[in-house]
């Protein structure tokens, strides 16, 4: 709280409740001056929201690692792509923590729908048949159905729904093209390919960053939004460092 000695300022009413502020304890907030009771209520709400965000993030990360463990050896793929996508998104929306969190959660839970894909298809060693592919291609929609049940997760749910789309419209499940694909999903697509190419697989070692970078540039305008590729190139030093560290941590806004 700001001491009442500063009430020489021309503050008459609380910016929140409109009640009198003059000659009472008051506080300066981003919205203006407010009375003590509104200030205390705001602080409680803020603490509660931060706790909620922390819990949601931990739950989402645990869920993502469970999905990864089913398909990937390390269980860190989802966390890595989420951190790298968040890093790119930060360049576009440095002052929008809510949107950044949605993009992080969307990237983190992109494959949540695979929970509904049978092991015989998801873990099949050889190439999938056309009918198996048909089942596999349902995972973005299955993921969307799961995510859209969570309150206030619409942006993240849309990223999950659209994460297999391609800029030229040849992706799935809806064949969206260009701007019709959510921006977070267009950023994610670049990062997913970067991670897939630079990660070790049971049958090959991870490729060099420069090989993945050349492929991403080659597919600009086809698989990837050229603007997302440009953003990736601008962030090359940090992307390169994250890939070399196999980084799977980020400061969540």
Chain residues in the site for Fe ion (CB under 5 A): 111
Q: How much of the chain is helix, strand and coil, in % rounded to 5?
A: 60, 5, 35
Residues 6+ apart with CB under 8 A from 93: 99, 100
What DSSP designation does 224 have? B
CB of 160 to Fe ion, least distance (A): 9
Comparing CB distances to Fe ion, the nearer of 61 and 111 is 111
Smallest distance from Fe ion to CB 234, Å: 26
Query: Of the two residues 34 and 122, which places its CB atom closer to Fe ion in the complex?
Result: 122
In terms of Cα–Cα distance, which of 153, 167, 162, 168 is closest to 182?
162
Distance (Å) of CA 194 to CA 44, 161, 172, 208: 41, 20, 20, 10
In the complex with Fe ion, the residue whose CB is nearer, 33 or 195, is: 195
Closest contact distance (angstroms) between CB of 172 and Fe ion is 10
The residue (of 111 and 195) whose beta carbon lies closer to Fe ion is 111
Q: Which residue has the tokens 């090959």?
A: 204
Least distance CB 240 / Fe ion (angstroms):
25
Q: Are 195 and 175 in contact (CB under 8 A)?
A: no
Least CB distance from residue 139 to Fe ion, whole Å?
Answer: 6
Nearer to Fe ion, 111 or 225 (CB): 111
Tell me the residue nearest to Fe ion as measured from the CB: 111
Tokens of 2: 């700001």
Nearest of 44, 49, 108 to residue 80 by alpha carbon: 108
């Amino acid at each position: 709280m700001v001491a009442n000695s500063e009430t020489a300022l021309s503050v008459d009413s609380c910016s929140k409740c409109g009640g009198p502020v003059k000659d009472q304890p008051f506080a300066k907030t981003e919205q203006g001056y407010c009375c003590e009771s509104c200030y205390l209520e705001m602080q409680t709400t803020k603490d509660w929201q931060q706790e909620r965000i922390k819990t949601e993030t931990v739950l989402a990360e645990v869920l993502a690692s469970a999905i990864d463990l089913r398909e990937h050896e390390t269980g860190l793929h989802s966390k890595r792509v989420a951190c790298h996508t968040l890093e790119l998104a930060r360049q576009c929306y440095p002052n929008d923590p809510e949107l950044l969190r949605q993009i992080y959660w969307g990237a983190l839970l992109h494959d949540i729908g695979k929970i509904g894909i049978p092991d015989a298809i998801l873990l099949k060693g050889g190439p999938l048949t056309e009918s198996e592919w048909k089942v596999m291609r349902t995972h973005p929609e299955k993921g969307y159905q799961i995510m859209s049940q969570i309150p206030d997760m619409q942006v993240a749910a849309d990223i999950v729904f659209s994460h297999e789309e391609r800029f030229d419209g040849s992706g799935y499940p809806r064949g969206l093209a260009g701007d019709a694909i959510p921006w977070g999903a267009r950023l994610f697509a670049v990062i997913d390919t970067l991670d897939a190419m630079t990660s070790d697989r049971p049958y090959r070692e991870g490729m060099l960053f420069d090989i993945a970078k050349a492929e991403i540039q080659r597919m600009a305008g086809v698989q990837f939004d050229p603007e997302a590729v440009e953003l990736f190139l601008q962030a090359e030093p940090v992307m390169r460092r994250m890939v070399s560290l196999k980084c799977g941590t980020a400061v969540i806004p």
